[in-house]
Structure 1
Amino acid sequence: MENQKDNFLLKWIEKSILPIANKIQRNKYLQAIQSAFMTLMPIMLIGGIITIITTPFVDYTKMATTDSMYNFYKGWQLFVNNYGMPLVILRSVTLSSISLWTSLAIAYFLAKHYKMNTIITSVVSLLMFFILCTSVTKDGGLSNDFWGGEGLFAGIIIGIAVTELYRLFTTKKIGTIKMPDMVPPALKSSFASIFPIIFVTVICTIIAMLCNSILRITFPQAILNLFHPLVVTVDNAFGLSLSSILSQICWWFGIHDTAVTSLLEPLMYSNYSANAAAYAKGIAAANLPHIWTEPLWWNWMVIGGSGATLALAVMVLRCKSVQLKTVGKVAIIPALFNINEPLIFGLPIVLNPLFFIPWLLAPTINGLIAYICMAIGIVNKTFIYPGWNIPAPIAQFLSNMDLRSIFLTLVMIIIDGLIYYPFLKVWDKQKLEEERGGENVA
């Protein structure tokens, strides 16, 4: 009876959820967004490192002069004040300008998909970003308040919309200037883009003017207000858990988890960028505004790769089955760097009903543990994204510069092991019996 229920559930998922996941995975806009974020990871990593260097962990003015670390933190702060301006500028043009670069990168990859001129399209997107996301300050300067995480949703929309508008005007040849055949191709292409760029500029300028004059807010602020109800609904422990389960279901059926994570990237990167900006302003790491960030997902939840399989990879090495032990030897080194395809397809986990439950549970429980611990202050919230392939527990420590993260990560790995252990034990026994049966037949 229980098997019938399991089969019914799996068939329902295969029939109802997988077609949607497949369509999402193949969506050209989501692919462009995903490619953009992957490309910009080095920029964000540099910005995170600079944030650490330019922001002492402790404000020395609030320390006793007799404290053993007083001179260290005072010297650190004086160094930043006297020599840190280039570093502050570097942080401003990397992590604090992530929306700008995202808009440009999305336009590039979308133009590449359409086989358009990627350079011109990217530059046009950049120009429109300046028009829509930059405001004039009272002293006549330009404000870049929405170049960071706060303007990320606007940057994504600009990258997509500008590319589509520019493509529309160029493919329909609206305002195209016909040039003689003897004109060089580069010059032809340049002149052909003049009127499409003008049309796109006029449209974006009108939008910016309407936002300022009618709504009395900037375009990125209007986009933030529009998405706020959705973000509030999703940006919590329940939304995190549901997203984890959906992501794991996709992987279990052999569909890459980007079908889900590509939808979440704007939220996670926006929250991460906001945390980094808040930390740079002197807000304590325990009091940062967001818990669900890019590093929370990739460093804390999926330890060892999707499914949180690092503990499983270690346990497979001790299996009695020759087949499983061989898989373990191949999978253990990649698993340390959060690459677990050898385990997923070698064990296998994909389409293996035995591992369906622990596959869903392990990363979801990791997420809940980390979420709760950060919410109540057991460990700091994250403000640095060291990258998805940094081994545990180094990645977790680097994500919030909290030594307690090392201990918590080890506890989570043990919990992951306890979740997987009974299922692996059954699978090992089954494989061992198959191997012994084969030997007897031989």
Structure 2
Amino acid sequence: MEKFMDFMERKFVPVAAKIGGQRHLVAIRDGFASIMPLILAGSMSVLLKNTIFEWITPLQGLIPICDQVWWGSLAIMTLLVVFSVGYNLAKSYEVDPLAAGLIAVGAYFATLPQSHGEAGWGYIHWGYLQATGLFTGLIVALIATEIFVKLIKRDLTIKMPEEVPPAVGRAFAAVIPGTLTMLTFGIVFFIIDKLGGVSLYDVIQESIQKPLEGLSQGVGSAMLAAMLINLFWFFGLHGANILDPVMNALYLPALTANEQAIAAGLEAPNVITRVFFDTYVHLGGSGATLALIIAIFIASKNRKEYREVAKLSAPSGLFQINEPMMFGIPIVLNPILFIPFIITPGILTLIAYIGTATGFAPPTYLVIPWTTPPIIGAFLATGATSASWRAAVLAAINLIVAVLIYLPFVKLADRRREKQTE
């Protein structure tokens, strides 16, 4: 174990730290975080529409309100992400972030066809703007912002007199870089169109996104992703933040596809979604550390510091916040807890996958706040329907399994302390 730890500290940690601080991944992570209030608003509107407003007849007339909230949030998620990612990336370069965000949105529109089916000219289908367009939107936002920033830094700007208000000066400074950026993506659309394609979205959707989404629905890849998050965490790196851009790009479209299918009265096509992990795997935070808290209460007698940290961490653990456990026990660089901390998310992912794929629990299709307590979160993420109790049971089973995995290692730590005091 010591040789393994030494190898990982020398080879893995430096690389992981660079990945965690990589400018573009940070921009994507912060971009998604910025629009979270709108995502949650849209999800809560879907939940209200399908539960309270649907169950209580006098309230059914209010359903159009929920539809409009969804239309202004989840239905345009890609557009929101494009702006937010462009904004955050430009901010990291200390370039006008507002202009960069707006130009990123314009660049994305420049890649889209101006008609859809028989609707005629000037009609953009909303399908390009919802979560299914995230992958293309992220690529456009990153490239457009990079072009804009490089042109700004090459001083291809219109300089205004000092007497001009700052907002006007910034706007004129962005004219040439913004125009050249937009022309770039107009040319991209022109080339794709002349080659017989529909749009950049369709090219990426068919050649990259669909194959990746198909791969992401494999239980093996989901288990690997969940375990990799914890591997980063074990070395003191925020694994959830590091992998958040990848997880969102792959699993948010799956969540949206489920929501649309269920709204249409169809079966949800995806077992694994973005909220699947918060619902069934990250019980109390990465590594299901709420289970570790319970295991400590059950089995730890000689390690008073474990019990004290567990007592202090329990309230936050109920709301999926586990930094007190990570750095208080600590779990970080703790060789005794390495094995359960790494394998637990993989096992929980497998159990939840089987439980959902076999139809025992309904699929997740609603975004819920990641701070929603375990078990309750499973009930809400599956629509709070008459079948959602089975999702809550599945989450409870996972919590019990996680406790059983941690128990032997908590006892081992307890025995080691007992031997040290003899």
Higher-Rg structure is 1
Residue of structure 1 in register with 2:220 after alignment: 238
> Does 2:168 correspond to 1:187?
yes
Q: Under a length normalisation based on structure 1, what TM-score does the superposition of the two structures give?
A: 0.87
Q: Map residues 37-436 of structure 1 onto 2, 5 A cutoff.
A: 37-55=32-50, 83-133=62-112, 135-137=114-116, 138-140=118-120, 141-174=123-156, 176-227=157-208, 228-257=210-239, 258-283=241-266, 287-318=267-298, 319-320=300-301, 321-401=303-383, 402-434=388-420, 436=421
Question: Structure 2 vs 1, CA of residues 368 and 136 (structure 1 numbering), >3 Å: closer, same or farther?
Answer: same
Structure 1 residue 379: deviation in Å? 0.6
Contact 1:324 1:428 in 2 (8 A): no
User: Which region of structure 1 is more displaced relative to structure 2, 135-144 or 217-226?
Assistant: 135-144
**Structure 2 CA distance for aligned equivalents of residues 235 and 393 of structure 1:** 23
**Structure 2 CA distance for aligned equivalents of residues 367 and 74 of structure 1:** 33
> Does 2:21 correspond to 1:21?
no
Any gaps of 5 or more consecutive residues in structure 2? none
Q: Deviations over 1:227-281 (max 9, x none)?
A: 1333333431010111122221111111110333433221122212222222222
Contact 1:133 1:151 in 2 (8 A): no
Structure 1 residue 56: deviation in Å? 6.4
Contact 2:111 2:199 in 1 (8 A): yes
| SS of the residue 1:142 aligns to | coil
**Structure 2 CA distance for aligned equivalents of residues 182 and 38 of structure 1:** 37
Q: Which amino acid aligns with 2:348?
A: N
Aligned residues: percent identity? Answer: 28
**Structure 2 CA distance for aligned equivalents of residues 322 and 97 of structure 1:** 51
Residue of structure 1 in register with 2:4 after alignment: 9
Q: How many residues align?
A: 411
Displaced runs of 4 or more, over 4 A: 72-76
Q: Deviations over 1:266-305 (max 9, x none)?
A: 112221222222222222xxx3122221111122111011
Structure 1 residue 173: deviation in Å? 2.4
Question: Structure 2 vs 1, CA of residues 104 and 73 (structure 1 numbering), >3 Å: closer, same or farther?
Answer: closer
Question: Structure 2 vs 1, CA of residues 133 and 49 (structure 1 numbering), >3 Å: closer, same or farther?
Answer: farther
Contact 2:309 2:325 in 1 (8 A): yes
**Structure 2 CA distance for aligned equivalents of residues 28 and 45 of structure 1:** 26
**Structure 2 CA distance for aligned equivalents of residues 371 and 89 of structure 1:** 33
| SS of the residue 2:127 aligns to | coil
Contact 1:166 1:200 in 2 (8 A): yes
Q: Which amino acid aligns with 1:392?
A: P
Q: Deviations over 1:110-130 (max 9, x none)?
A: 111111112111111122222
Q: CA RMSD in A?
A: 2.2
Contact 2:197 2:203 in 1 (8 A): no
Any gaps of 5 or more consecutive residues in structure 1? 1-5, 58-71, 438-442
Q: Which amino acid aligns with 2:391?
A: S
Contact 1:265 1:294 in 2 (8 A): yes
Q: Deviations over 1:61-116 (max 9, x none)?
A: xxxxxxxxxxx96975x965x55334322212211211110001101111111111
